[in-house]
Structure 1
């Protein structure tokens, strides 16, 4: 979903694991292939996430930052909030309660 300010929302559904994470990685590769990429990853539809899925977030974040942009995570389940916090991802990659909050950088966890 493209936004008026050129930010992009990538919607993820189902389990994010070793079998499905390459799909997310490919999507992130496409949307990060622009100068100053601004990407919100909508996590509201994720039921499970393993280390390969978490790695996709980190790699995407680093690629965007190197290009002067950002990746923000939005609308995670309580399980995913705890997981992101437990593995130490939340200080590096901003996490927001809602996609709309991530688009305007308001109300990060």
Structure 2
């Protein structure tokens, strides 16, 4: 937890990964921008398993620019092609506004909570 807080304070990005019921849950902490987007991109690499399912829990993301949007859209397309899906959970107000402005919320499921995102 201390590493995530330190990353947030320094404008960096860390990504914690867990799995719940066959769904890979990624929890980025900090800023997602052109300097840090590759960290999230690598975490979202589509595994060679059938029907990969990912949830990105955004509650610790303090800022996201178009680089983050591009990473999410690319992952959504790759996961859909692989027969899986991507859902976004618990975006902060600022991040949700960005998702809505560019229309990502109309393309990728955005859920208010992680629990909702994990529900089938």
Q: Is the TM-score greater than 0.5?
A: yes
Deviation per CA, 1:33-86: give whole Å up to 9, x if none: 122011000100011101011111000000010011100000101111111011
Structure 1: unaligned runs, 5 residues or longer: none
Q: Which residue of 1 aligns with 2:11?
A: none
Looking at structure 2, the residues matched to 23 and 3 of structure 1 have their Cα atoms a distance apart, in angstroms, of: 21
TM-score w.r.t. the length of structure 1 is 0.90
Higher strand share goes to which structure? 2
Q: Provide the aligned length of Structure 1 versus Structure 2.
A: 102
Computing the radius of gyration over CA atoms, which structure comes out larger, 1 or 2?
2
Looking at structure 1, the residues matched to 95 and 30 of structure 2 have their Cα atoms a distance apart, in angstroms, of: 13
Structure 2: unaligned runs, 5 residues or longer: 1-17
CA RMSD of aligned residues (A): 0.8
- Aligned counterpart for 1:23 among listed residues 33, 36, 39: 39
- State how 1:1-109 maps to structure 2 within 5 Å: 1-4=18-21, 6-29=22-45, 32-33=46-47, 34-105=49-120
Higher RCO by CA contacts (8 Å cutoff, separation 6 or greater)? 1
